[in-house]
């Protein structure tokens, strides 16, 4: 209260300007600079609330209110980003940082509503996330079990040789060719040795 009194007094004395209120509708912004300014204003407010919602001393009701406010501000941010794009600015939904969005956790079927900070640990909310996690784990196990159930010897490669004689035939041909080469090389070696012996005998006789 004292802060507000001093702020009002400062405005009356002309020492400061009254704080400009953010338009309720993004469509009321007529220039790109204005739309960019209010988008940044929304992001700053989201960041402050995300920091507050992690405070361990906050009561449960305050946490719920803060989480609702953050979700409302996220929707407002989307509206301002749409307006920025309409006025010829960048598409922040494609190039903008997603850090704040990633801090929130969504329960399927909640139409995009996210839980931040300690709101994830609220009674009822924690159980929803646990149920979701268990369902995901069970689904993965069922999928794996179903795959293994339908996998047979062919899938694991155990019956390749039995069902496909081409591989065995190819291996047999390669083996035969190698054996023929080895025999030819061996015969050539013996032939060379015999020729050398005959030449030595002829020289000795003369």
Sole residue written with tokens 């929130």: 104
| Integer CA distances (angstroms), 140 to 121, 126, 144, 149, 162, in order | 25, 21, 6, 14, 34
Percentage of the chain beyond pLDDT 90 is 36
Number of other CB atoms surrounding residue 5 within 10 Å = 9
Helix (H) or strand (E) holding 63: helix 60-86
Task: Note the pLDDT of residue 39.
Answer: 95
pTM of the model: 0.55
Beta strand segments in 96-199, E: 105-106, 114-115
| Residue 70 and residue 49 in contact, taking contact as beta carbons nearer than 8 Å | yes
pLDDT at 31 exceeding the cut of 90: yes
Highest mean pLDDT, choosing among 16-20, 131-135, 139-143, 198-202? 16-20
pLDDT at 91 exceeding the cut of 80: yes
Longest pairwise C-alpha distance within the chain = 139
Q: Which residues pair with 114 in a beta bridge?
A: 106
Where is average pLDDT lowest: 5-9, 48-52, 87-91? 5-9
Average pLDDT over residues 8-35: 80
Task: Note the pLDDT of residue 95.
Answer: 85
CA contacts within 13 A on the Cβ side of 13: 7
pLDDT at 50 exceeding the cut of 60: yes
pLDDT interval class at 40 (50, 70, 90): very high
pLDDT at 17 exceeding the cut of 70: no
Q: Measuring CA to CA, which residue among 202, 46, 50 is closest to residue 117? A: 50
Report residue 105: phi and psi, to 5°.
-120, 135
Beta strand segments in 39-173, E: 105-106, 114-115
Say which residues have a Cβ less than 8 Å from residue 153's Cβ, sequence separation at least 6: 159
| Residue 123 and residue 61 in contact, taking contact as beta carbons nearer than 8 Å | no
Task: Note the pLDDT of residue 78.
Answer: 94
Q: Is 106 helix (H, G, I), strand (E, B) or coil?
A: strand
End-to-end CA distance of the chain: 134
pLDDT at 36 exceeding the cut of 90: yes
Average pLDDT over residues 98-112: 65
């Amino acid at each position: 209260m004292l802060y507000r009194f001093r702020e009002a007094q400062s405005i009356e004395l002309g020492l400061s300007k009254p704080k400009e209120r953010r338009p309720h509708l993004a469509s009321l912004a007529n220039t790109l600079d204005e739309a960019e300014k209010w988008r940044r204003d929304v992001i700053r407010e989201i960041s402050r609330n995300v920091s507050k919602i992690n405070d361990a001393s906050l009561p449960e009701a305050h946490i719920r209110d803060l989480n609702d406010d953050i979700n409302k501000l996220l929707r407002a941010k989307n509206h301002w980003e749409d307006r920025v794009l309409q006025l010829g600015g960048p598409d922040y939904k494609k190039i903008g940082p997603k850090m704040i969005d990633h801090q929130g956790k969504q329960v399927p079927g909640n139409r995009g509503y996210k839980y931040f900070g300690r709101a994830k640990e609220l009674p009822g909310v924690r159980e929803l996330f646990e149920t979701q996690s268990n369902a995901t784990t069970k689904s993965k196990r069922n999928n794996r079990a179903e795959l293994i159930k339908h996998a047979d010897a062919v899938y694991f490669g155990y019956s390749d040789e039995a069902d496909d004689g081409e591989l065995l035939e190819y291996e047999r041909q390669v083996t035969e060719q190698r054996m023929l080469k080895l025999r030819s090389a061996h015969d050539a070696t013996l032939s060379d040795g015999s020729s050398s012996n005959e030449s030595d005998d002829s020289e000795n006789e003369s």
